[in-house]
Amino acid sequence: MDYKEKMIRQMELKNFSKGTQTTYFSAVNKLCDHFSRQPEEITTQEVEDFIIHLQEEEVLSPSTIHSYINAFKFLFNKALNRRLDRFDIENRRSPKTLPEVLSVNEVKRIIQSADNLRRKVILLLAYSSGLRASEIMNLKIGDIDSKRMMIRVVEGKNRKDRYTILNPHTLNELRAYWLKYKPKNYLFPGKEGDERPACNHMPLKAWRIASKRAGITKGRGIHTLRHCFATHLLEAGVDLRTIQVMMGHSSIQTTSIYLKVTSKQMENTQCKVDLLKYY
């Protein structure tokens, strides 16, 4: 059994998500390419040298290096089970940066600058429902509950299900999108058909095109719209606990970061705020 089969077996036993599996394999493949050898032939010292290379030569972010280290720990300690050569490097701490948040008007400009209906709907879902890119791509027709005005997120981050709000304007655009593209299963099917969703690069591309057309340079990708969702709800008076549930955060501490970027004091506890009332 080669290292790939061992990794797959251990990942299945630990019920890793597909995203985590892809990330781990990508890191290990890069390690093997760097040394032109199989991982069984790579020493712990060489892995440490490779991590230094990632930091100093490729200048990767602490969070990216963190994922590489986790992948290598899993490879050596779990898949290869190298008891006499344990790989135990400390994870890098990311700097405590605050999320970048746009104004309602800036969000409106970006959404209106989408170059087609599909990308416009993707941007709307990211902002008005606070969905991650992967969660948008995995949405199915049945996840849109127009009667309750809610969206069901199945196996979001950490494989947790949750519900979030469905904005009336977003629903109208979703209906127009359905009439035009006629998806049968996934809202955004891949090239192979409705049995698999499109890749997660689609939301990023939608963001890049729309933000460039809108002339807005702020923000760090489509995830910025998710930050805007939480911040604008907080500014509208929605309580932190409700936002935590809709965002799918495990800890209220994660959600509380938006208290540091909000520009207004909370005034009421109204839950279903029309984030796109100025759209």
Establish whether 93 is a catalytic residue. no
The pLDDT assigned to 271 comes to: 45
- What is the distance, to the nearest Å, from the Cα of residue 121 to the centroid of all Cα atoms in its chain? 17
User: Which token pair is 46?
Assistant: 């060489």
195, 57 Cβ separation under 8 angstroms: no
Establish whether 175 is a catalytic residue. no
- What is the distance, to the nearest Å, from the Cα of residue 164 to the centroid of all Cα atoms in its chain? 16
Establish whether 249 is a catalytic residue. yes
User: Which token pair is 14?
Assistant: 């630990």
The pLDDT assigned to 123 comes to: 97
Establish whether 157 is a catalytic residue. yes
Is pLDDT of 273 > 90? no
Is pLDDT of 270 > 60? no
Tens-place pLDDT, residues 143-184: 999 999 999 999 877 778 999 999 999 999 999 999 999 998
**Pick the catalytic residue: 119, 120, 132, 227?**
132
Q: pLDDT band for position 103 (50/70/90)?
A: very high
Please give the mean pLDDT across all residues of the chain: 86
> According to the CATH classification, is domain 104-260 in 1.20.1740.10?
no
* Segments making up each domain of the chain, as ranges: 3-79, 104-260
The pLDDT assigned to 211 comes to: 95
Which has the closest alpha carbon to 274: 129, 167, 174?
167
User: Which token pair is 124?
Assistant: 């709307």
Interatomic CA distance for residues 226 and 133, integer angstroms: 9
Q: Which residue has the tokens 């760090």?
A: 220
**Pick the catalytic residue: 109, 140, 157, 169?**
157
The pLDDT assigned to 45 comes to: 84
Tens-place pLDDT, residues 175-222: 999 999 999 899 999 876 667 888 878 999 999 999 999 999 988 889
The pLDDT assigned to 21 comes to: 87
Establish whether 132 is a catalytic residue. yes
The pLDDT assigned to 150 comes to: 95
The amino acid occupying position 89 is I
pTM recorded for the entire structure: 0.70
The pLDDT assigned to 269 comes to: 37
What percent of the chain is modeled with pLDDT above 90? Answer: 45
More confident residue, 62 or 185: 185
What mean pLDDT is predicted for residues 3-13? 89
**Pick the catalytic residue: 119, 226, 227, 232?**
226
Is pLDDT of 92 > 60? no
3-79: what CATH class? mainly alpha
Choose the most confident range, by mean pLDDT, from 48-52, 137-141, 249-253, 257-261: 137-141
Establish whether 82 is a catalytic residue. no
235, 130 Cβ separation under 8 angstroms: no
Instruction: Indicate the helix (H) or strand (E) that contains 193.
Output: strand 193-197
